[in-house]
Structure 1
Amino acid sequence: MTTVTIGPIVAEVTGEGMPVVMIHGLGGTSNMFQPQMAALSGYRVVRLDLPGSGRSPKPFEPLTMEIMSEAVVRAMDGMGVTRAHFIGHSMGTIVCQQIAAKHPALVASLALFGALAEPAEATRLGLVKRAQLARSGGIADIADQIVANALSAHTRETSPAAVAFVRESITRQDPESYARTCEALAKAVAVDPRRIAAPTLLVTGDADTVNPMSVGQALADGIKGAVISSLDRCGHWATIECPRESSQKLADFLRRVDR
């Protein structure tokens, strides 16, 4: 494994082969895809910390989704990646969609976990309030809210390790950077899904209350040939809550695309 820094992005690079680029969601880091690494043997896996998240440096200016997606594109260029499979979670699925729409030659396929096109109005308002809470010292409270509302009841009852992972991922974020990321997501605008030509898989937990199946289905309906699949008793953090099932769906999809 090699750790590289290109502009505002820190990335971990593992393996050789066709590149797979993995983009986390709000409050996540590259670590949220650790359970999928065994399923990606034979690929060059690039796991990113988006600007202001995880180990990537604190941004000097307000963030936008466009700034994040273009930072990913520049990082790919810096690593010599000219075409890759893109895998995203939640907010990261918006980054993936923007890249697929604006840089179609770079995207071999999309696998989107807990996907959305853009936040609903109530979600936008909630994200602005969450940014204020983060700045006021409430990052631990935010973590507790996410555990209570974004994870399935089954996960909370049966997987204390998953609960601990999600809580740790949030509490270790830099509060100001997290707040700016919340504000960027609050202003996200959907791309025209007709501009996405890459084969696309959407995976959503049947207990996902953040971006439920109806949200994923609406996005899938707009992308030509997109396929949507569900995970039983799974909330919003699918790669952590249902690691084996998420990995299997991802591996099966990539095998079909690469045939």
Structure 2
Amino acid sequence: MQVNINGIETRYVLSNEGGGPWLTFVHQLGGDLSVWDQLAGYFRDDYTVLRYDVRGHGETAVSNAPFAIADLAGDLAALLDALGAPNTHLVGMSMGGMIAQQFALDHPSRVNRLVIADSTAASPPEARATWDQRAASVRRDGTASLAPATLERWLTEAFRTAHPEAVEPIREALTRTLPEGYAMACEALRDFDVRGKLGNIRCPALVVAGRHDTGTPPAASQLIADAIEGAHFELLDAAHLAPVEQSQRFAALLETFLERPV
């Protein structure tokens, strides 16, 4: 399905067989909504499951102007408005985790429970040049040029070897991402910093990290959990895309978390 959100044609998939509470998944940089296929199938009988392509990714149009993570959180708010969802459980991975943090800060009454996977509350100063270099590289050489190194960071070698059927759709989503969409998102990530605000998040929170994540070390996720009162932290035997690599374990954690009494 497509809907115009803040002037941008946005693709989303809504699975509401169960007609239960809303559960929204937000994908990583260079990904699309398909990364959540397995988890969406698991939860759709009990929840109204929403997935969408962030602007400049998948089949969502590229922005005409630079944007910040706050703008991406605004896109999510507008999408929920368009679909008639007053609030939602929110799950974000990597870039999606940054969007989820920002959304929880900007729209606190709309988040029932918050799950942040393999993410950080800020890009450190020393990483700014790296984001600029990556944006320049993808504008010059395209997203396919990033695939080998990116997949090595995202998934452990053991998983890539054992599960090529899971790796290939992730590779395809990355290589299909339009260079300008990816580059503009890099620049938004470069400027992201909510470290001083996380204490304002009051909803129940679960933070998950991959033990072998070299791009976003577990310590960065632990800092998020430490800053949100009452947040629960889990470390999984995975690299950067822990919800993919440890999908059964992540699904079990998420199911327990969503059903846990407040």
- Give runs of ≥4 in structure 1 deviating > 4 Å: none
Q: Which of 200, 224, 229 is residue 205 of structure 2 equivalent to?
A: 200
Contact residue 131 and residue 179 of structure 1 kept, 8 A:
yes
Report how far residue 245 of structure 1 moved.
Answer: 1.5
SS for the counterpart of 1:5 is strand
Structure 1 CA distance for aligned equivalents of residues 62 and 142 of structure 2:
18
Q: Which of 248, 253, 258 is residue 249 of structure 1 equivalent to?
A: 253
Q: Point out where structure 1 has 5 or more consecutive residues left out of the alignment.
A: none
Contact residue 39 and residue 248 of structure 1 kept, 8 A:
no
Matched, 1:26 2:24: no
What per-residue deviation string (whole Å, max 9, x for no partner) do you get for residues 113-169 of structure 1?
Answer: 112101223333222111111111242121111012232232223222233232212
Structure 2 CA distance for aligned equivalents of residues 165 and 122 of structure 1:
32
Q: Which of 6, 15, 33 is residue 4 of structure 2 equivalent to?
A: 6
After TM superposition, list the pairs within 5 Å mapping 1:146-165 onto structure 2: 146-165=150-169
SS for the counterpart of 2:28 is coil
Report how far residue 102 of structure 1 moved.
Answer: 1.6
TM-score, normalised relative to structure 1:
0.93
Contact residue 153 and residue 240 of structure 2 kept, 8 A:
no
Indicate the larger mover: 240-249 or 54-63. Answer: 240-249
After TM superposition, list the pairs within 5 Å mapping 1:111-130 onto structure 2: 111-130=115-134
Q: Which of 16, 20, 28 is residue 17 of structure 1 equivalent to?
A: 20
Structure 2 CA distance for aligned equivalents of residues 121 and 231 of structure 1:
27
TM-score, normalised relative to structure 2:
0.92
Report how far residue 63 of structure 1 moved.
Answer: 2.0
Q: 1:130 to 1:236 in 2, by over 3 A?
A: same
Indicate the larger mover: 58-67 or 144-153. Answer: 144-153
Contact residue 70 and residue 103 of structure 2 kept, 8 A:
no
Partner of 1:87: 91
